[in-house]
Amino acid sequence: MTDIRFDGRTAVVTGAGTGLGRSHALGLAARGAHVVVNDLGAATDGTGSGSDAAHAVVAEIRAAGGSALANGADVADAAQVEAMVAEAVDTFGSVDILVNNAGILRDKSFAKMSDADFRKVVEVHLLGSVNCTRAVWPLMADRQYGRIVMTTSASGIYGNFGQSNYGAAKAGLVGLMNVLRLEGIRRNIHVNALAPTAATRMTEGLLEPEALELLRPETITPGLLALVSEAAPTGMILCAGAGCFAETRIYETAGVALSGAALSPEGVMAAMDRIRAPEGQQRLEDAFSQTRRFAAMAAAQCRGGGQ
């Protein structure tokens, strides 16, 4: 297999001062990319700021012979993001790759969570990714090339106690990816999602030392590099951790078509086992695929005269 390289490409990696972002930035630089190392320098809850971490990563990349630029933009501030992308273009000539990695945690049970904590997490994870993607999208469209990764999470896909804000934001990123992969495909913009399980500042207090060693960020970055390569898929949710990789897919069951007296709440409950049965489930290409499928099911049911 041909080596994956990024020579001549420019990548923006947000939240790249530590943890996963740092690992991604180093991985991209080691394979030839110019890297914009973005990091606000905040604590894990989003408070504070400082550029030391981003500059340290840049120094590490340059010491290894790579090319990098430090940037301290707050991804939740659209104006700062636009300025970051303009600086990247002025310095390196383009932006070809965007890794939306920046994030914070403000965990509490839903009943105890403040509105401010809910909004702030959504602003950083979801709207921060929107801001960064919006800033690079026209550049990628003009050049007919782009690779974008949203960082989602098992908390958004499957749920996790005490993370309603984080889970909502991470699930929202899957929805954003699903739409953008459709809008970007004609312009050769591939959009994917990475769902990592890593030992970072956000998880160090939750895992045993043995698990932390297995879940080093460096075991996840190979998956990220694959998702932003020229041959990358689009519309994929790649789950990664400890050198293990899997794909999460959203399926729709075959379902049932109800009419007459059966088209009632009682009828839906009576058919629940058939509605949830996995036999014949399929992955739909887009939202209208479901509309067409339901219309066809209903028409067939009317013709057959059954439930």
Could you list the active site residues? 166
- For residues 90 and 84, give the distance between their C-alpha atoms in angstroms, rounded to a whole number: 10
Q: Which of 306, 187, 184 is nearest to 235 (CA)?
A: 184
Q: Is the dihedral of CA 88, 91, 97, 103 positive or negative?
A: negative
Q: Which of 237, 247, 240, 251 is nearest to 283 (CA)?
A: 251
H or E element, residue 296: helix 287-304
User: Would you state the structure tokens that stand for residue 274, as one six-digit string?
Assistant: 């058939």
- For residues 57 and 38, give the distance between their C-alpha atoms in angstroms, rounded to a whole number: 10
Instruction: Tell me the CA distances in angstroms from 47 to 41, 71, 138, 139, 266, one per residue in order.
Output: 9, 17, 31, 32, 50
- For residues 20 and 204, give the distance between their C-alpha atoms in angstroms, rounded to a whole number: 13
